[in-house]
Amino acid sequence: MAEKTLPENIAPGTICVHSGTFHDGVTGGVNSPIFTSSSYEYLDREDTCYPRYFNTPNQEVVVAKLSNLEHAEAGVLFSSGMAAISTTILSFAGRGDHVVLLDELYGGTHAFVTDCFDRLGIGYTFVKTSVDAVARAITAETRVIVIESPTNPLMNIIDIEAVAGLGIAHGIVTVMDNTFATPINQKPLALGIDVVVHSGTKYLGGHSDLCCGVALGSREHTQTILAMARHLGGSLNGITCYLLERSLKTLALRVERHCLNARRIGAELAAHDAVRRVYYPGLPGCSGYETALKQMKGFGGMLSFELANGGVGPDAFLKRLRLVRPAVSLGGVESLICAPAHTSHAKLSATERHRLGITDGLLRLSVGIEEVDDILADLDQALSTL
Ligand SMILES: *Cc1c(COP(=O)(O)O)cnc(C)c1O
């Protein structure tokens, strides 16, 4: 692939714009062309392209940019975050093996494990978001540890370097879902984690209009993932690759604004009479703040808050919002809000939700990049009716 040689040590914002771009020798166009073929010639070529071999130019362009951002040697681009996560776990764990996972992992990951692992003969232990709990769950059969930080929706933080250390000490592959933080705020591979995965559907895509995922790490680890990925087949088409490449050019810029907006909104909500509690790792006093300070460059655009009236009528509050939209998913330019008890965590029993701390009045806000005063005014007018 014809990538122009870029200066070394360019900053993330510059990587976002330039890294990986396919140099168009035909026209000299400054953007990567979109390669739509699913069939490629094979004579006199070392490596034949094929979408499900994960080696088409548009796939490679995006992987190059993301690898550079995450300090990875290589990566595999997928058609969804779950394709990236399930393929990655299955690449390192099989019959008789054991996997340790945080019980606050993304609901889809949780469901994948509980629905499929028994049948596959893979043992597993879900633990609280704590390094000690992870350490205690490790057995002689443990092959993979899977973590997230911040977690959804309570924004708990785990010490990434400490978990990576456990993996190194025991020869266990550590996998981190870095969707909430993005590589702009947090670089798990630089802290010793083996494989970083993302739902690119969220901040990487950033405009709530595409679905994709990625796994990134050393050449050795990603080769293992690639071999499994070719069997399972969750590859991404060229047009969506291009949309993702286009989105990534503004990732650093968007994330900077998401962080600024979320920090301000978190502080204002924490001081609001109608709000009992705010969960945002960037607020001093929030549990995890010290660890977040150590391992995050910015605290991200996700925050949760609990209504002071115990959650009486969160739907009425949501319906009064005029700018912030009640919708699932996150990470787009527009502010979105949802009640986890009725959306992401609806399948859990009330007891299980209670144990995790997810009350009926808990609301999760994906802070967009709008003018922060407009978001605040909208939240305030809706809160004032409670
Ligand atoms: C959305 C999400 C996923 C799943 O990604 P899809 O693209 O929906 O498959 C995984 N992890 C986290 C943290 C997510 O938010």
Give whole-number Cα distances, 86 to 67, 106, 175, 225, in Å: 20, 12, 11, 10
Q: Give the rounded distance of the alpha carbon of 382 from its chain centre.
A: 29
Give the separation between CA 69 and CA 114, rounded to whole angstroms.
32
- Identify whether 203 is a catalytic site residue: no
High-pLDDT (> 90) share of the chain, %: 90
Tokens of 96: 């008789």
**Residue 218, burial from CB neighbour count under 10 angstroms (0-12, 13-18, 19+):** middle
CA distance 257 to 299: 11
Distance (Å) from CA 273 to ligand 1 centroid: 33
- Give me the pLDDT at residue 337, please: 98
> Choosing from 106, 203, 279, 280, which is the catalytic residue?
106
Residue of 65, 143, 187, 202 marked active site? 202
CA distances from residue 376 to 105, 341, 380 in whole angstroms, order as listed: 29, 24, 6
Residue 198, SS3 per DSSP: strand
What's the gap in Å between 34 CA and the centre of ligand 1? 26
In sequence order, the 6+-apart residues with CB closer than 8 A to the CB of 341 are: 353, 358, 359, 360, 362
- Average pLDDT rounded to a whole number, residues 10-34: 96
Tokens 């949309």, located at residue: 243
Q: What is the mean pLDDT of the chain?
A: 95
Supply 272's token pair. 């609001």
> Which positions ≥6 away from 352 have C-beta within 8 Å?
none
* Helices and strands, number each (H, E), in the chain: 14, 12
3-state secondary structure 113-168: HHHHHHHHCCEEEEECCCHHHHHHHCCCCEEEEEEECCCCCCCCCCCHHHHHHHHH
Nearest atom, ligand 1, residue 85 CA = 10
| pLDDT tens-digit series, residues 221-232 | 999 999 999 999
Residue 98's identity, in one-letter code, is H
Q: How far apart are CA 177 and CA 175, in angstroms?
A: 7
Model confidence band, residue 1 (pLDDT cutoffs 50, 70, 90): very low
The sign of the torsion formed by the CA atoms of 181, 186, 192, 194 equals positive
List all residues 6 or more positions away from 342 whose beta carbon is below 8 Å from its beta carbon: none
Looking at residue 120, its amino acid is L
Which tens digit of pLDDT belongs to each residue from 330-352? 999 999 999 999 988 888 888 98
Residue 296 is predicted with a pLDDT of: 98
Q: Which strand ranges, in their side-by-side order, compose the sheet holding 362-366?
A: 275-279, 302-307, 362-366, 336-338, 325-326
- 4 pLDDT band (50/70/90 cuts)? low
CATH superfamily of 254-384: Aspartate Aminotransferase, domain 1 (3.90.1150.10)
pLDDT tens string 276-312: 999 999 999 888 999 999 999 999 999 999 999 866 7
With contact defined as beta carbons under 8 Å apart, do 149 and 156 qualify? yes
Structure tokens at 320: 């009064």
Protein residue closest via CA to atom 7 of ligand 1: 81
Determine how many CB atoms are found less than 10 A away from the CB of residue 229.
Answer: 25
Q: Where would I find the beta strands (DSSP E) of 218-358?
A: 275-279, 302-307, 325-326, 336-338
Which residues' Cβ are closer than 6 Å to ligand 1? Answer: 80-82, 106, 108, 148, 152, 177, 179-180, 199, 201-202, 211, 213
Q: Does the annotation count 325 as an active-site position?
A: no
Pick from 333, 265, 306: nearest CA to 282: 265
83 CA: nearest ligand 1 atom: 9
pTM to 2 decimal places: 0.97
Q: Within 13 Å and on the Cβ side, how many CA atoms surround 371? A: 4
Average pLDDT over residues 359-382: 97
Q: Whose CA is nearest to atom 6 of ligand 1?
A: 81
pLDDT at residue 172, as a whole number: 98
Instruction: Quickly state the pLDDT bin for 200 (edges 50, 70, 90).
Output: very high
Q: Does domain 12-248 have CATH number 3.40.640.10?
A: yes
With the most atoms of ligand 1 within 8 angstroms of its CB, the residue from 158, 179, 204, 214 to mutate is 179
Q: Whose CA is nearest to atom 1 of ligand 1?
A: 199
Choice among 40, 50, 52, 325 that is catalytic: 52
Residue 137 has pLDDT above 80, yes or no: yes
Fold: same for 12-248 and 254-384: no
Q: What is the pLDDT of residues 85-117, one digit of tens each?
A: 999 999 999 999 999 999 999 999 999 999 999
Q: Domain locations in the chain?
A: 12-248, 254-384
Contact 120, 94 (CB under 8 A): yes
